[in-house]
């Protein structure tokens, strides 16, 4: 007899993302981690005003959305005011690596013990599928790179975790949602990020490769395939930093 | 009030008064001529049990304020000139969820990088509703170091009373001068008292707070009505000004901040020579004190706005307050602090009919 599928109690209503989007899986993993670690009552979510914003009503915890790109700064302040709370960021690659690059770097530089979850879907989803300067692959077609991203004009995407591993932080890792095995691995990464925060070990960032079938203009299955065969080549799934930081 | 006085810079008085008002979160970025506020907070905030962050930018500092204010903390930042431009995004956000916060703008003169010395030409930016969207913020204009302390101290209460951003509109002159000040008594703030604020821990069945661009605990029409009422209440209840020798004046100067101090000297000097000047000193720049212009003396020949600006900025508010019915002249000194004799001579010219009325646009 098949096991009965249940949703985490922390999720209190249906999510609003497109079919095949990875955000919903990430949302579920976040809720599972918080529940398994007994952190629900202390959790404060900081969501960006793009696609991640849809999670603000679905989790049973205090939450805040702020100016686009500033999640890391908002989370920094909340964590400083409530040091014993469980503050996590759920934001996209545009927020975290483009308009909010500085805020992300300085949350790492200060080694603020928050858990920052960055959804790398290689695109600006909420605004209709424009190129993401940080993560769109060279050659990928978007509504703002219609002939495919030209690296001579728009430069190349970059691996932000390569940069952040130079900071004194607790944890940096990249997961993927391309198959159940990788989803399980991603959950372990997220859990590590929340444990580090609970144990006041410093800044943890988990980037997650996540499909955007709507804006990639692919079926959900083909989007998963592209992610595994193309995006993971440029953005390898691995742990970059795992040193627990300093007390 | 504490007994005795001390000598402090305007900026230091602002910072110390904020701490005494229970401000326990400051984030900011250095810029002249307000950096002493940031420096004072860096040296003293931790001792009072608060959080000081030297932000990576004004924008990040404002986002930190947004986060800390959402927790119910008493929060403050400060900036000037081009730095204050970058605060606008945050002011708009704070206003969207009606979060209390105190923001210090120590005006420096000029467009672009401008000068690092005093000016009064950021008046519009402070008084016309920060950032995008339709919002209003209380704007208080200290005219002395004592007022730097008193208005900052009170600003935190006003911010919570109306759930609004309060701007202290100082200038390089007021903020850099050293004067006597009697500081207010320290008090503690209870950040847990607000039902709209994020808490550090909540039971599963407690209602949760979602701090976003609108207050989602109510619908749009209720939100609109609440905000409109707030603007109206602030406008009608918070107009503040000082009358200085206006009862019998034939010409009334209108000035705030650094200019208002010179104006007082000009009023005295003019009266020694038999010219009856007076001064209306707005203490709130928003709401503009329209009530101050309701009972002007009979025989008044006109008003003179004295501002450190290139064209007049406050003049438009005076025109609106007087419904364009009273002759208005402008003594506008751009980057130079007005002089007592300069003001007196200008007023002589006005009374002699040698000066054209001020055109505002």
Domain-embedded: residue A15: no
Q: How far is B330 from chain A (nearest CA, A)?
A: 40
Q: Check residue B3 and give its pLDDT.
A: 66
Joined tokens for residue B185 = 């008594």
Q: Residues B160-172: what's their mean pLDDT?
A: 98
Domain-embedded: residue A5: no
> Which candidate, B140, B176, B142, places its Cα nearest to that of B33?
B176
Domain-embedded: residue A3: no
* Percent share of chain B, pLDDT over 70: 99
- Convert the pLDDT of each residue in B92-123 to its tens digit: 999 999 999 999 999 999 999 999 999 999 99
Largest CA distance in chain A: 56
Q: How far is A73 from chain B (nearest CA, A)?
A: 5
Domain-embedded: residue A138: yes
Q: What is the CATH number of domain B242-351?
A: 3.40.50.920
d(CA B307, CA B121): 8
Q: How many domains does chain A have?
A: 1
Strand segments (E) across chain B:
6-9, 25-28, 51-54, 75-79, 101-107, 138-140, 165-171, 178-181, 210-211, 241-244, 251-254, 277-282, 284-286, 302-307, 328-332
A80 to B204: CB separation less than 8 angstroms, yes or no: no
pTM for this one? Answer: 0.96
How many other CB atoms are found less than 10 A from the CB of residue B131? 19
Q: How far is B40 from chain A (nearest CA, A)?
A: 19
Pick the CATH number of B6-204+208-237 from 3.40.50.970, 3.40.30.10, 3.90.550.10, 1.10.1060.10: 3.40.50.970
Domain-embedded: residue A1: no
- Convert the pLDDT of each residue in B254-299 to its tens digit: 999 999 999 999 999 999 999 999 999 999 999 999 999 999 999 9
Q: CATH code at A204?
A: 3.40.50.970
Q: How far is A68 from chain B (nearest CA, A)?
A: 10
Residues of B in contact with A105 (CB under 8 A): 56
Residues of A in contact with B200 (CB under 8 A): 42, 44, 81-82, 84-85
Domain-embedded: residue A247: no
Q: Residues B16-21: what's their mean pLDDT?
A: 98
B50 at interface of A, judged by CB pairs closer than 8 A:
no
Domain of A232? 23-242
- Is the bond into B33 cis (omega within 30 degrees of 0)? yes
- Assess contact for A44 and A87: CB atoms under 8 A: yes
Q: Residues B156-179: what's their mean pLDDT?
A: 98
Joined tokens for residue A136 = 């769109």
Domain-embedded: residue A228: yes
Q: Check residue B184 and give its pLDDT.
A: 97
Best residue in B49, B70, B216 for a mutation probing chain A (most A CBs within 10 Å): B70
Q: How confident is the model at residue B4 (pLDDT cuts 50, 70, 90)?
A: confident
Which position has the token pair 């930093």?
A241
Q: What is the ipTM of this complex?
A: 0.95
Q: Check residue A1 and give its pLDDT.
A: 59
For A94-154, the DSSP string reads: IIIIIITHHHHHHHHHTT---EEEEEE-SSBTTTTSB--TTTPPTT--BTTBTT---HHHH
Joined tokens for residue B347 = 């007023």
Residues of B in contact with A67 (CB under 8 A): 59, 62-63, 66, 89-90, 93
d(CA B158, CA B166): 7
Query: If chain A, 247 residues long, is cut into consecutive pieces of 10 residues, what is the mean pLDDT of each piece?
Result: 82 89 96 97 96 92 95 98 98 97 98 98 96 98 97 98 97 97 98 97 98 97 97 98 70
Per-domain boundaries in chain B:
6-204+208-237, 242-351
- Assess contact for B241 and B292: CB atoms under 8 A: yes
Q: Check residue A244 and give its pLDDT.
A: 64
Q: Check residue B142 and give its pLDDT.
A: 98
Question: Phi, psi at residue A10, to the nearest 5°?
Answer: -65, -25
B166 pLDDT higher than 50: yes
d(CA B220, CA A12): 23
Q: Check residue A94 and give its pLDDT.
A: 96
Strand partners, A207: A118, A174
């Amino acid at each position: 007899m098949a096991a009965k599928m249940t949703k985490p109690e922390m999720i209190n209503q249906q999510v609003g993302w497109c079919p095949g989007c990875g955000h919903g899986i990430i949302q579920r993993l976040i809720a599972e981690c918080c529940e398994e670690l007994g952190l629900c009552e202390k959790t404060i979510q900081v969501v960006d005003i793009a696609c991640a914003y849809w999670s603000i009503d679905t989790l049973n915890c205090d939450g805040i959305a702020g100016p686009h790109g500033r999640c890391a700064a908002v989370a920094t302040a909340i964590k400083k005011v409530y040091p014993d709370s469980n503050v996590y960021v759920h934001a996209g690659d545009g927020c975290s690596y483009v308009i909010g690059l500085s805020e992300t770097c300085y949350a790492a530089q200060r080694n603020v013990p928050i858990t920052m979850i960055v959804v790398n879907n290689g695109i600006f989803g909420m605004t209709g599928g424009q190129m993401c300067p940080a993560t769109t692959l060279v050659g990928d077609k978007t509504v703002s790179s219609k002939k495919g991203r030209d690296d001579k004009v728009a430069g190349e995407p970059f691996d932000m975790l390569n940069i952040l591993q130079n900071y004194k932080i607790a944890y940096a890792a990249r997961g993927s949602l391309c198959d159940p095995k990788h989803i399980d691995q991603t959950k372990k990464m997220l859990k590590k990020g929340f444990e580090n925060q609970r144990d006041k070990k410093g800044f943890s960032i988990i980037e997650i490769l996540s499909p955007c079938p709507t804006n990639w203009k692919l079926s959900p299955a083909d989007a998963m395939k592209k992610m595994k065969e193309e995006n993971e080549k440029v953005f390898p799934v691995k742990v970059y930093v795992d040193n627990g930081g300093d007390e | 009030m504490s007994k005795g006085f001390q000598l402090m810079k305007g900026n230091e008085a602002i910072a110390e008064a904020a701490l005494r008002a229970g401000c326990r979160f400051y984030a900011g970025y250095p810029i002249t001529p307000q950096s002493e506020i940031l420096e004072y907070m860096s040296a003293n905030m931790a001792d009072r049990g608060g959080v000081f962050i030297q932000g990576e930018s004004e924008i990040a500092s404002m986002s930190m304020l947004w986060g800390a204010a959402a927790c119910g903390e008493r929060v403050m930042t400060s900036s000037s000139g081009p730095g204050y431009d970058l605060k606008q995004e945050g002011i708009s956000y704070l206003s969207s969820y009606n979060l209390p916060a105190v923001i210090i703008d120590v005006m420096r003169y000029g467009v672009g990088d401008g000068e690092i010395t005093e000016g009064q030409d950021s008046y519009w930016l402070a008084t016309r509703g920060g950032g995008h969207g339709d919002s209003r913020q209380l704007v208080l204009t200290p005219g002395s170091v004592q007022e730097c302390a008193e208005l900052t101290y009170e600003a935190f209460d006003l911010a919570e009373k109306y759930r609004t951003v309060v701007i202290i509109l100082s200038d390089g002159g007021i903020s850099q001068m050293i004067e006597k000040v009697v500081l207010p008594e320290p008090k503690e703030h209870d950040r847990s008292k607000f039902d709209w604020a994020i808490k550090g821990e909540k039971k599963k069945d407690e209602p949760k707070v979602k701090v976003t661009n609108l207050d989602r605990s109510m619908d749009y029409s209720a939100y609109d009505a609440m905000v409109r009422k707030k603007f109206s209440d602030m406008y009608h209840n918070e107009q503040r000004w000082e009358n200085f020798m206006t009862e019998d004046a034939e010409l009334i100067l209108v000035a705030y901040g650094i200019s208002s101090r010179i104006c007082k000297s000009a009023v005295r000097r003019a009266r020694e020579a038999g010219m009856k000047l007076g001064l209306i000193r707005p203490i709130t720049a928003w709401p503009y004190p329209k009530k101050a212009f309701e009972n002007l003396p009979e025989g008044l020949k006109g008003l003179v706005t004295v501002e450190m600006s290139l064209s007049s900025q406050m003049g438009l508010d005076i025109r609106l307050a007087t419904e364009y019915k009273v002759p208005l002249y402008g003594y506008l000194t751009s980057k130079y602090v007005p002089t007592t004799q300069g003001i007196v001579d200008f007023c002589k010219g006005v009374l002699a009919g040698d000066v054209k009325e001020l055109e505002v646009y």
